[in-house]
Structure 1
């Protein structure tokens, strides 16, 4: 997803949820500051290129995953019995889970936004290296590949870095326990459709 296209979607999301762009940017600056020396260049994501990729979302129910290259999104990590190649998250999982993933060779893609400053402060000092992302203007080694929820962001990253094939597991756009979650899933579906992933 080109940055110009994403920023138009982002402006609509800010309006829809009444989120603060200023707070998103403040969180990204905090991540960059705390992550100095830990932030990886985006080129590490080239490991995706040419692979058949499974992207696993939060509605995963243990169905068999055929693809050998696996990207988990957010809380989906609590539903799988393997260490994924890449984990894309805004860090709602507990710190120990993320630390252990990295120790076991998983590449972490950590996302900064206005509502997870406390998670950034808790997680970033505990891990070694990671790819950092923001919803707003990218800078230094804090990137913006597009995507709003962990799930659609993971799929957009897979496309951006040249996956040969992307198969989604555990993506249910109807199952939401709150109105906010329902709206987030609506935007995830819009983004995945714009990208031609669904």
Structure 2
């Protein structure tokens, strides 16, 4: 479990590297805190994850190959970055937890809100203030920030939706964490809907996400695996090895 004092140095590096402003992140977090209602969702997340094998799903190039495999594991706990949500839902894979800064496909988010029981972990940062009202529609929702947590706003660590999902699973003591569609390479997955003008910054974010997962691997108590591109500290496994790994 990460203490904010340990995370603060990583956050300071993120602010400097990406020219972000902590006060802007805090402004956004305050808005989200005012929107969210008090709830017992944290307890539900803990019960869902603790001592379980958890799949964390991103929208990297390997996601296309992963979906058919994920469909075979209907009862496995799944945490998804919101950019992976549309192709997952279209193929009948509904995550238990959705980690989102509300940049994903809005129609899919609203569809799940109307018909499913997924838990939303909504992240507040400087650039999504105008989107935070959408959180009012989520029946099961908690809020997160990169900055210092307060009130109803938590900080489990992580930077992009994908690696925040891994930090979340680790925080709540998953027994094993297995990555799908999280490639962190020089290619951007087609499901991320990244504009050409945003490609450079997207690759920078992916690199930072990978760096943070490598850091997490040095102290987490969860066993770490990936079916995607190799990551330092994560054991690379094939789809054929999934059944063995899950047990």
TM-score, normalised on structure 1? 0.92
SS at match of 2:85: helix
* 8 Å CA contact retained: 1:74, 1:91: yes
- More RCO (CA 8 Å, sep 6+): 1
Matches of 2:31 and 2:155 in 1, distance apart? 16
- Post-superposition offset of 1:79: 2.0
Q: Could you tell me which of 154, 171, 193 is aligned with 2:214?
A: 193
SS at match of 1:61: helix
Q: How many residues align?
A: 196
**After TM superposition, which residue ranges in structure 1, 4 or more long, deviate above 3 angstroms?**
38-41
| C-alpha distance after superposition, 1:39-81 (max 9, x if no partner) | 5552222110111111000111142136511111121111212
| C-alpha distance after superposition, 1:1-56 (max 9, x if no partner) | 33222111010000000011111000000001122x26555222211011111100
Q: Could you tell me which of 150, 161, 168 is aligned with 2:172?
A: 161
Matches of 1:39 and 1:32 in 2, distance apart? 12
Q: Which residue of 2 aligns with 1:42?
A: 42
| C-alpha distance after superposition, 1:113-159 (max 9, x if no partner) | 000111113x1232333011011011111100000000000001001
Residues 1:134 and 2:145 aligned together: yes
SS at match of 1:167: strand
Q: Which residue of 1 aligns with 2:64?
A: 61
Structure 2 gap ranges (5+): 189-195, 218-223, 225-233, 235-247
* 8 Å CA contact retained: 2:99, 2:122: yes
Matches of 1:6 and 1:93 in 2, distance apart? 26
Q: Could you tell me which of 79, 101, 114 is aligned with 2:126?
A: 114
Matches of 1:55 and 1:4 in 2, distance apart? 26
Q: Which residue of 2 aligns with 1:101?
A: 112
TM-score, normalised on structure 2? 0.74
Higher Cα radius of gyration: 2
Matches of 1:18 and 1:40 in 2, distance apart? 35
